[in-house]
Amino acid sequence: MKLDVLAIAAHPDDIEITCGGLMMKMADMGKITGILDLTEGEMGTLGTPATRRQEAEEAGRMLGLAVRENLRLPDSELEPTVDNRKKIAAVIRTYKPQTIILPYKHKQRHPDHRMASVLGYDACYLAGLAKAKIPGDPHRPHKIIYASSFLDAPHSFFVDITDQFERKKQAVAAYKSQFTNAEQPRLIFKPGHDIFTLMETFHRKYGVEVDCRFAEAFWMAEPILLDDPTIQPVRSI
């Protein structure tokens, strides 16, 4: 199976929170999508690996994923080792995605989020080396984008997720161990609200910037090339 989009993140629920709307939108458009979770989030205060596996499976169905894998690397101990890069590169070679979504690597509270971005980028390069001792045929994704919602980041573009927003909330809510009647998330997410208030606040803010109701934010390292700049939907004046 070849994927159009593969999102890579440190923990189950990371993708749902940061770019679940885009993942749903791609599936709605007929794109084949998948997620690679690097750890099971076993160091988290709430939940267990077993419950989080079940929650991730349910959330994945809501996202319309074709595949979801977990490398079960040690939570809170992600390191930029050659072995870790090879494990991720092997998954990239298996599914040959054209687009990879990674966490924005700057200004991350959790070190695993930052390291997932570094490992993911390095694995994309390694997966394309013909002589690399990794299972599968060489493959290098065409585009890497970074989920930058909720961060003080120089966003490159926004995606209208108005049609997906309510379903995105349901996918996040599938992680009942993390977000049901729990005070702990209020200590994590700015401005001290629960995750659903946070999503409502930020996605509405991004939507205002691009003249839609709800949007997610993304960053790219490369310039954006336009064939026709006269048809951009966002007005200047």
- The answer to whether residue 187 sits within a structural domain is yes
**Both structure tokens of 79:** 């390191």
Look up the domain containing 116 and give its range.
5-221
Look at strands 215-219 and 157-160 and give their pairing. Answer: antiparallel
Using CB atoms within 10 Å of the CB of residue 221, give its burial: 0 to 12 exposed, 13 to 18 middle, 19+ buried: exposed
Q: What is the pTM of this model?
A: 0.93
- The answer to whether residue 148 sits within a structural domain is yes
The pLDDT assigned to 75 comes to: 93
The pLDDT assigned to 185 comes to: 52
**Both structure tokens of 144:** 């890497």
- The answer to whether residue 25 sits within a structural domain is yes
The pLDDT assigned to 108 comes to: 82
The pLDDT assigned to 188 comes to: 56
- How many Cα atoms sit within 13 Å of 214 on the Cβ side? 19
Dmax (CA) of the chain? 54
- Give the pLDDT means over successive 10-residue stretches in the chain (237 positions): 97 96 98 97 80 95 98 95 98 98 89 96 98 97 97 95 98 89 56 81 96 97 94 89
List of residues 6+ apart from 18 with CB closer than 8 A: 9, 103, 147, 149, 150, 216
- The answer to whether residue 145 sits within a structural domain is yes
